[in-house]
Amino acid sequence: MAPASKIKIIVAKPGLDGHDRGAKLLARVFAEAGMEVVYTGLRQTPEMIVETALQEDADVVGLSSLSGVHNYFFPKVVQLLKNKGLDDVIVVGGGIIPKEDVEGLEASGVKGIFGPGTPTTEIVDFIKTNARSRN
Protein backbone atom coordinates (compact mmCIF):
# COMPACT_ATOMS: atom_id res chain seq x y z
CA MET A 1 0.00 0.00 0.00
CA ALA A 2 1.41 3.41 -0.90
CA PRO A 3 1.88 5.70 2.08
CA ALA A 4 -0.58 8.23 0.69
CA SER A 5 -3.42 5.73 0.91
CA LYS A 6 -2.80 4.80 4.53
CA ILE A 7 -5.86 5.03 6.74
CA LYS A 8 -5.32 7.51 9.54
CA ILE A 9 -7.06 6.75 12.82
CA ILE A 10 -7.34 8.64 16.10
CA VAL A 11 -7.65 6.34 19.09
CA ALA A 12 -9.16 8.33 21.93
CA LYS A 13 -10.26 7.90 25.54
CA PRO A 14 -13.15 10.28 26.22
CA GLY A 15 -13.92 11.38 29.76
CA LEU A 16 -12.18 10.46 32.99
CA ASP A 17 -12.03 6.68 32.44
CA GLY A 18 -8.53 5.28 32.94
CA HIS A 19 -9.01 1.81 31.44
CA ASP A 20 -6.66 2.06 28.48
CA ARG A 21 -5.57 -1.54 27.95
CA GLY A 22 -7.92 -1.98 25.00
CA ALA A 23 -7.17 1.42 23.47
CA LYS A 24 -3.41 0.92 23.62
CA LEU A 25 -3.64 -2.62 22.35
CA LEU A 26 -5.76 -1.56 19.39
CA ALA A 27 -3.43 1.35 18.64
CA ARG A 28 -0.69 -1.21 18.19
CA VAL A 29 -2.88 -3.57 16.19
CA PHE A 30 -3.97 -0.76 13.84
CA ALA A 31 -0.37 0.30 13.28
CA GLU A 32 0.60 -3.26 12.46
CA ALA A 33 -2.32 -3.45 10.05
CA GLY A 34 -0.75 -0.59 8.11
CA MET A 35 -2.76 2.33 9.51
CA GLU A 36 -1.35 5.58 10.75
CA VAL A 37 -2.33 5.87 14.40
CA VAL A 38 -2.56 8.79 16.81
CA TYR A 39 -3.30 7.83 20.42
CA THR A 40 -4.64 10.79 22.39
CA GLY A 41 -4.11 9.47 25.91
CA LEU A 42 -6.68 9.87 28.69
CA ARG A 43 -9.16 12.57 29.71
CA GLN A 44 -10.21 13.82 26.33
CA THR A 45 -13.26 16.01 25.90
CA PRO A 46 -15.27 15.54 22.68
CA GLU A 47 -13.95 18.93 21.57
CA MET A 48 -10.33 17.84 22.07
CA ILE A 49 -10.91 14.63 20.12
CA VAL A 50 -12.54 16.40 17.20
CA GLU A 51 -9.80 19.03 17.17
CA THR A 52 -7.19 16.24 16.95
CA ALA A 53 -9.12 14.59 14.11
CA LEU A 54 -9.19 17.90 12.26
CA GLN A 55 -5.51 18.69 12.85
CA GLU A 56 -4.41 15.22 11.87
CA ASP A 57 -6.73 14.95 8.88
CA ALA A 58 -7.97 11.62 10.25
CA ASP A 59 -10.24 9.18 8.43
CA VAL A 60 -11.42 7.34 11.51
CA VAL A 61 -12.01 8.14 15.16
CA GLY A 62 -11.92 5.15 17.52
CA LEU A 63 -13.44 5.77 20.97
CA SER A 64 -12.97 3.54 23.99
CA SER A 65 -15.06 3.74 27.13
CA LEU A 66 -15.39 1.32 30.02
CA SER A 67 -17.03 3.58 32.56
CA GLY A 68 -20.57 3.68 31.19
CA VAL A 69 -20.42 7.11 29.58
CA HIS A 70 -20.61 6.01 25.94
CA ASN A 71 -24.19 7.22 25.48
CA TYR A 72 -23.06 10.69 26.44
CA PHE A 73 -19.70 10.91 24.66
CA PHE A 74 -19.95 8.92 21.44
CA PRO A 75 -22.89 10.78 19.85
CA LYS A 76 -21.33 14.06 20.93
CA VAL A 77 -18.14 13.30 18.98
CA VAL A 78 -20.21 12.36 15.90
CA GLN A 79 -22.15 15.62 16.18
CA LEU A 80 -19.07 17.81 16.59
CA LEU A 81 -17.39 16.14 13.60
CA LYS A 82 -20.48 16.97 11.54
CA ASN A 83 -20.41 20.56 12.78
CA LYS A 84 -16.83 20.84 11.53
CA GLY A 85 -17.83 19.44 8.14
CA LEU A 86 -16.04 16.14 8.78
CA ASP A 87 -19.05 14.04 7.78
CA ASP A 88 -16.93 11.45 6.03
CA VAL A 89 -14.82 10.70 9.11
CA ILE A 90 -16.25 7.53 10.62
CA VAL A 91 -16.56 6.97 14.35
CA VAL A 92 -16.22 3.51 15.86
CA GLY A 93 -16.36 2.61 19.53
CA GLY A 94 -15.68 -0.14 22.01
CA GLY A 95 -15.59 -0.99 25.69
CA ILE A 96 -18.20 -2.11 28.18
CA ILE A 97 -21.24 -1.27 26.11
CA PRO A 98 -24.50 -3.13 26.75
CA LYS A 99 -26.07 -4.58 23.61
CA GLU A 100 -29.23 -2.62 24.23
CA ASP A 101 -27.27 0.62 23.80
CA VAL A 102 -25.79 -0.35 20.43
CA GLU A 103 -28.85 0.47 18.36
CA GLY A 104 -29.13 3.96 19.81
CA LEU A 105 -25.44 4.64 19.27
CA GLU A 106 -25.62 3.48 15.67
CA ALA A 107 -28.71 5.59 15.10
CA SER A 108 -26.76 8.58 16.36
CA GLY A 109 -24.18 8.00 13.65
CA VAL A 110 -21.58 5.76 15.29
CA LYS A 111 -20.53 3.41 12.50
CA GLY A 112 -19.61 0.35 14.54
CA ILE A 113 -19.55 -0.81 18.15
CA PHE A 114 -17.24 -3.59 19.28
CA GLY A 115 -17.78 -5.17 22.68
CA PRO A 116 -15.49 -7.24 24.90
CA GLY A 117 -14.08 -10.35 23.26
CA THR A 118 -14.24 -9.05 19.68
CA PRO A 119 -11.27 -10.33 17.67
CA THR A 120 -9.07 -7.40 16.68
CA THR A 121 -8.99 -8.68 13.09
CA GLU A 122 -12.74 -8.08 12.87
CA ILE A 123 -12.26 -4.45 13.91
CA VAL A 124 -9.42 -3.93 11.45
CA ASP A 125 -11.49 -5.41 8.60
CA PHE A 126 -14.46 -3.25 9.50
CA ILE A 127 -12.36 -0.09 9.44
CA LYS A 128 -10.68 -0.99 6.16
CA THR A 129 -14.05 -1.61 4.58
CA ASN A 130 -15.75 1.49 5.92
CA ALA A 131 -13.08 4.20 6.08
CA ARG A 132 -13.33 6.91 3.45
CA SER A 133 -11.30 6.44 0.33
CA ARG A 134 -8.08 8.48 0.15
CA ASN A 135 -7.80 8.35 -3.62
Q: Which residues bind other proteins (CB under 8 A)?
A: 15-21, 24-25, 27-29, 37, 39, 41-43, 45, 67-69, 72-73, 96, 98-100, 115-117, 119-121
Contacts of 82 (CB under 8 A, 6+ apart): 109
CB 48 within 8 A of CB 11: no
The CB-of-29 to other proteins minimum distance in angstroms stands at 8
CB 115 within 8 A of CB 99: yes
Determine the 3-state secondary structure of 132 from DSSP.
coil
The CB-of-97 to other proteins minimum distance in angstroms stands at 9
Q: Which is nearer to other proteins, 29 or 54 (CB)?
A: 29
Q: Which is nearer to other proteins, 81 or 114 (CB)?
A: 114
